[in-house]
Amino acid sequence: MDIPSKVISARMQTEEVMENTDKFGFSDFAPILSEACGPALQLADAHSRLANEMFAALPEQMKVEQAVICGLVRMTTTGWVELLILVGNGAGLGAMKIACGMFETSVMAEYLRQTPAEIEDYIGYFRILQFKRIQESPGVVSAEKSAEIEKEYNRVKPRFQDKNGRIRKQWNKHSISYMAEKIGRKNQYELAYSIAASIHHDNFEALMAHVSGDGSAFDVDSPPSLEWIEQALVSGHIYLHHALATLNDLLKLGFQEHLRLADEKFEKVWHKPSN
């Protein structure tokens, strides 16, 4: 699950021959993207390689708590690869949806690193979901497996019940906004994430974000396009940096200087604060 060291190139060429003449992606979009975002894409390549180096330095054995947080970091970096594929094909709005998920996994990773007592809830709620699934679809597992799932459900259920015996609808007691504020990323939640979440959940703000041109004609913009590319790229890059910092702090990997330089180069390329 490591990030491939050559996941992207400066030109973000994504076309692949699929039979004879059919190609995947938009071959004529690569030069346009390179012209608009070349330095940012080169830096994205370099920092994807940094992620590879950090994953290569992971210890062979980790505690369960560490493995959970590491897994969330890996989900964030996998999202980064997915985001870059969409950016490379001019699908900025799709990339924004990926950025939304990257924010959530990177925030949860750092939040759980700072509040490890809640990791047991993160793990245990899996048993609640398993039981819910078999209740909704009886017969999908064997009777033996069903009994095992119910036993585990009854074991963890008290952790998630309120005073009236009702089970909460998610593993965490707090919202993602609370977690973001707790780890000092409230501004990201209020602006960048809020916009990405609108796009992901298709409210009216999302509909207006899809409108192409100057908005005078109601026509949904479609790939390939430079619309939302920079917003997605800068947001995903920020969340990648946060996730890698969490990994470094969690496992004491010794990449502090690498990450400091990565942040400096990010600021130099984008010429704007990490919102």
Tokens describing residue 271: 């010429």
Helix, strand and coil in the chain, % to nearest 5: 65, 0, 30
Q: Which CA distances in Å does 128 have to 19, 84, 97, 104, 171?
A: 46, 34, 27, 21, 9
The model's pLDDT over 197-206, given as tens digits with 9 standing for 90+, comes to 887 777 777 6
The one-letter code for the residue type at 2 is D
Question: pLDDT category, 196, cuts 50, 70, 90?
Answer: confident
Question: pLDDT category, 21, cuts 50, 70, 90?
Answer: very low
pLDDT score at 271:
73
The pTM assigned to this predicted structure is 0.84
Tokens describing residue 159: 């952790």
Angle at 112 between CA 201 and CA 249, to 5 degrees: 115
Of 169, 183, 231, 197, nearest to 36 by C-alpha is 231
pLDDT score at 190:
79
Mean pLDDT lowest for which of 155-159, 180-184, 213-217?
Answer: 213-217
Tokens describing residue 50: 């940094």
Question: pLDDT category, 3, cuts 50, 70, 90?
Answer: very low
pLDDT score at 95:
95
pLDDT score at 267:
94
Residue count of the chain, please give it: 275
Q: Which CA distances in Å does 168 have to 29, 65, 104?
A: 47, 22, 19
pLDDT score at 6:
34
Q: Do residues 274 and 185 touch, judged by C-beta distance below 8 A?
A: no
Domain edges within the chain: 30-116+183-270
Angle at 50 between CA 251 and CA 246, to 5 degrees: 35
Query: Which H or E run contains 53?
Result: helix 30-56
> Could you tell me how far CA 84 lies from the centroid of its own chain?
12
Where is pLDDT greater, at 146 or 2? 146
Provide the b/e sequence for 44-82 (b: ≥16 CB within 10 Å): bbebbebbbebbeebeeeeeebbebbbebbbbbbbbbbb
